[in-house]
Amino acid sequence: MSANNDSDDLEALFDSIAASSVVAPEPLKSVAPDPVASSNADNDDLQALFDSVAAKAEVAPASPESADHEGGSGEGWPQQEAVFNRIGHMARALHDTLGLLGYDKLLEKTVSALPDAKDRLAYVANLTEQAACRVLNATDIANPLVDEMESGAKALGERWDQVFANRMGPAEFKQLATETRLFLNEQLPAKTRGTHAQLTEIMMAQDFQDLTGQVIKKIVALAHELESGLMSVLIEVLPETKRTEEVASLVNGPVINAEGRTDVVVNQEQVDDLLDSLGF
Amino acid sequence: MAADPKMRFLVVDDFSTMRRIVRNLLKELGFTNVDEAEDGAIALQKLQGGGFEFVVTDWNMPNMDGLTLLQSIRATPNLKHLPVLMITAEAKKENIIAAAQSGASGYIVKPFTAGTLSEKLNKIFEKMGQA
């Protein structure tokens, strides 16, 4: 990170920070910042520095002109100096990153787009729920129709079996022929039409995909912009040791991308294998 | 299958669509006596009311999640015998191990098929028959 910054830049930054943020009750002599030393400061130091600056920011700020002095007489303020130094590094990193990469504008745009994204996601949730309900309703209507077709055909078939087994009188046969004709000409077509209508309904319920697809693409683009912007800032600002920490949780939702991960299963077979291997 | 078709199920999921799908699949398998709960807390209340013989639960739910529900069931003397089948999108190995160690009777990872549900139910019924 900022270890390569030259002292002049840092000093200028320190000056500007000191000048813009504080008014001193008495002059403070500053030591020229040593970028290498301060970028090696560990997290605990950083935390301690933040604590100390939070406690003292109101009562003991540095004066604007103090930073002009090189080296020397700031012995009473070593803590504050280190804090300003550190904050200077961070502010510089943040500012440079955002500015150089154009993220200042981008982040501004992104933040203003977030409420819109929230509405869009609600819209997606709404449409997908509606679609799920339409499909389930359609299957609720179509299932009995199919059942009736099956049972009607089966009943007629059994009676025709009796005809072929010579176990049916002429009157019964006539009745069967009439009923079969009715079944084939009216009942069956009516039920297949009804089923067909529900299949069409199920098909049409998928129209949400077009709409949600567009909305989701926009939100993914937005999230991507936001992520890469924030990531660059974080990489600049976050101490090395903090970068690799993972959040351990048992409530993560579906795995979106399992590639390269060994801590997740991708199908039921793997669930079963895992449980078997553990003796469950 | 030896299972009683009158067996009373409780389906626990915060999404009504998923409850409806599980209910429909159970109906296909011949189980029509199904009640629903939208989170672990409501489920536990219903279970304590008595009369249930099988619990199918999601993991990630508000108020009380599925793992806590499972642990609560196993810690309650009059409920601890109940078979609990988890149907969840949580696919980390840690999750599966945690569920198994907490006494889950089965673990199905979403998205799942009717065949998987049928297979897991039968496996649980077999075990119950042996016990």
pLDDT band at A4, cuts 50/70/90?
very low
What's residue A22's pLDDT? 47
What's residue A191's pLDDT? 96
What's residue A62's pLDDT? 45
Given CB atoms, is A253 within the 8 Å cutoff of chain B? yes
Asked whether A255 and B69 are in contact (CB, 8 A), the reply is no
Q: Which runs of E-coded beta strand occur in chain A? A: none
CA-nearest residue to B23 within chain A is A136
Best mutation target among B61, B70, B95 (most A Cβ atoms within 10 Å) is B95
Read off the amino acid at residue A263. Answer: D
Phi and psi (nearest 5°) for A253?
A: 75, -175
**Tell me: the pLDDT tens digits for A44-80?**
665 665 566 566 554 444 444 444 444 444 456 677 7
Given CB atoms, is A268 within the 8 Å cutoff of chain B? yes
Of A136-150, A157-171, A200-214, B30-44, the range with the lowest mean pLDDT is A200-214
Reported residue count of chain B is 131
Number of C-beta neighbours around residue A85 at 10 A: 25
Contacts of A253 in chain B (CB under 8 A): 60, 89-90
What's residue A35's pLDDT? 43
Average pLDDT over residues A125-137: 92
**A vs B: CB pairs below 8 A:** 63
pLDDT band at A36, cuts 50/70/90?
very low
Asked whether A274 and B119 are in contact (CB, 8 A), the reply is no
pLDDT band at A96, cuts 50/70/90?
confident
Given CB atoms, is A136 within the 8 Å cutoff of chain B? yes
pLDDT band at A243, cuts 50/70/90?
low
Contacts of B92 in chain A (CB under 8 A): 250, 252, 255, 263-265
The ipTM assigned to this model is 0.72
Read off the amino acid at residue A48. Answer: A
Nearest chain B CA: its distance from A222 CA (Å)? 25
Tell me which residue in A139, A251, A280 faces B65 most closely, judged by beta carbons. Answer: A251
What's residue A29's pLDDT? 44
What's residue A19's pLDDT? 58
CA dihedral (B102, B106, B112, B116) in degrees, to 10, reads 170
What's residue B118's pLDDT? 93
Given CB atoms, is B79 within the 8 Å cutoff of chain A? no
Contact A136 B100 (CB under 8 A): no
Tell me which residue in B20, B67, B96 faces A275 most closely, judged by beta carbons. Answer: B96
Highest averaged pLDDT of the listed ranges A107-111, A212-216, A248-252, B76-80: B76-80
Contact B100 A280 (CB under 8 A): yes
> Is the per-residue pLDDT at A28 higher than 60?
no
CA-nearest residue to B64 within chain A is A251
> Is the per-residue pLDDT at A93 higher than 50?
yes
Nearest chain A CA: its distance from B105 CA (Å)? 9
Best mutation target among A247, A257, A266, A271 (most B Cβ atoms within 10 Å) is A271
Q: Which residue has the higher pLDDT, B123 or A43?
A: B123
d(CA B118, CA B11): 15
What's residue A48's pLDDT? 64
Highest averaged pLDDT of the listed ranges A57-66, A89-98, B88-97: B88-97
Given CB atoms, is A266 within the 8 Å cutoff of chain B? yes
pLDDT band at A280, cuts 50/70/90?
confident
Q: Which residue has the higher pLDDT, A92 or A29?
A: A92
Q: What is the pTM of this model?
A: 0.59
